[in-house]
Amino acid sequence: MGTLSIPSADVHRLLTDSARGSATSYQRAFTDIAATHHGRPAAEILPLLRAAADVALLGFTRADLEDQAAAISHGARYELRVRITDR
Protein backbone atom coordinates (compact mmCIF):
# COMPACT_ATOMS: atom_id res chain seq x y z
CA MET A 1 0.00 0.00 0.00
CA GLY A 2 1.34 3.40 -0.93
CA THR A 3 0.61 6.93 0.20
CA LEU A 4 0.61 9.95 -2.07
CA SER A 5 0.15 13.60 -1.15
CA ILE A 6 -1.29 15.70 -3.94
CA PRO A 7 -2.63 19.26 -4.16
CA SER A 8 -6.40 19.41 -4.57
CA ALA A 9 -6.00 21.24 -7.89
CA ASP A 10 -4.06 18.25 -9.27
CA VAL A 11 -6.39 15.40 -8.31
CA HIS A 12 -7.38 15.08 -11.98
CA ARG A 13 -3.85 13.84 -12.68
CA LEU A 14 -4.48 10.87 -10.42
CA LEU A 15 -8.18 10.12 -10.85
CA THR A 16 -10.18 9.94 -14.03
CA ASP A 17 -12.58 12.88 -14.13
CA SER A 18 -15.25 12.62 -16.80
CA ALA A 19 -15.98 16.36 -16.49
CA ARG A 20 -12.39 17.17 -17.51
CA GLY A 21 -11.97 14.34 -19.96
CA SER A 22 -8.77 13.31 -18.22
CA ALA A 23 -7.73 10.54 -20.59
CA THR A 24 -4.18 10.79 -19.23
CA SER A 25 -5.01 10.24 -15.57
CA TYR A 26 -2.85 7.77 -13.69
CA GLN A 27 -5.96 5.81 -12.74
CA ARG A 28 -6.76 5.18 -16.40
CA ALA A 29 -3.16 4.24 -17.23
CA PHE A 30 -2.96 1.89 -14.23
CA THR A 31 -6.23 0.22 -15.23
CA ASP A 32 -5.05 -0.22 -18.82
CA ILE A 33 -1.68 -1.62 -17.73
CA ALA A 34 -3.35 -3.98 -15.26
CA ALA A 35 -5.72 -5.26 -17.95
CA THR A 36 -2.97 -5.93 -20.48
CA HIS A 37 -0.09 -7.05 -18.23
CA HIS A 38 -1.69 -9.28 -15.61
CA GLY A 39 0.63 -12.23 -15.05
CA ARG A 40 3.61 -10.56 -16.72
CA PRO A 41 6.83 -10.07 -14.74
CA ALA A 42 6.83 -7.05 -12.43
CA ALA A 43 10.11 -5.91 -14.01
CA GLU A 44 8.28 -5.56 -17.32
CA ILE A 45 5.42 -3.60 -15.73
CA LEU A 46 7.54 -1.20 -13.66
CA PRO A 47 8.76 1.03 -16.53
CA LEU A 48 5.21 1.34 -17.84
CA LEU A 49 4.00 2.54 -14.44
CA ARG A 50 6.96 4.95 -14.14
CA ALA A 51 6.14 6.43 -17.54
CA ALA A 52 2.46 6.80 -16.60
CA ALA A 53 3.40 8.48 -13.31
CA ASP A 54 5.77 10.83 -15.15
CA VAL A 55 3.07 11.80 -17.69
CA ALA A 56 0.63 12.46 -14.85
CA LEU A 57 3.32 14.41 -12.96
CA LEU A 58 2.90 12.26 -9.85
CA GLY A 59 5.75 11.65 -7.44
CA PHE A 60 5.45 7.95 -6.70
CA THR A 61 8.50 6.44 -5.05
CA ARG A 62 10.23 3.50 -6.66
CA ALA A 63 8.95 1.31 -3.80
CA ASP A 64 5.34 2.40 -4.51
CA LEU A 65 5.73 1.59 -8.19
CA GLU A 66 7.35 -1.77 -7.40
CA ASP A 67 4.41 -2.63 -5.13
CA GLN A 68 1.96 -1.63 -7.87
CA ALA A 69 3.86 -3.68 -10.46
CA ALA A 70 3.86 -6.72 -8.17
CA ALA A 71 0.11 -6.34 -7.57
CA ILE A 72 -0.57 -6.21 -11.31
CA SER A 73 1.72 -9.15 -11.96
CA HIS A 74 0.01 -11.32 -9.34
CA GLY A 75 -3.53 -10.05 -9.94
CA ALA A 76 -3.72 -8.68 -6.39
CA ARG A 77 -5.53 -5.58 -5.21
CA TYR A 78 -3.45 -2.47 -4.67
CA GLU A 79 -4.53 0.14 -2.16
CA LEU A 80 -3.30 3.70 -2.49
CA ARG A 81 -3.88 6.23 0.24
CA VAL A 82 -4.19 9.75 -1.07
CA ARG A 83 -3.74 12.83 1.08
CA ILE A 84 -5.20 15.97 -0.51
CA THR A 85 -3.33 19.14 0.37
CA ASP A 86 -4.26 22.80 0.02
CA ARG A 87 -1.40 23.41 -2.39
* Among candidate residues 16, 8, 28, 14, the one with its CA nearest the CA of residue 56: 14
Handedness of CA 51, 85, 1, 71 (dihedral sign): negative
Average pLDDT over residues 16-36: 80
| CA pair distance 24, 74, nearest whole angstrom | 25
pLDDT tens for 30-83 read 999 999 999 999 999 999 999 999 999 998 999 999 999 999 999 998 888 888
pTM of the model: 0.85
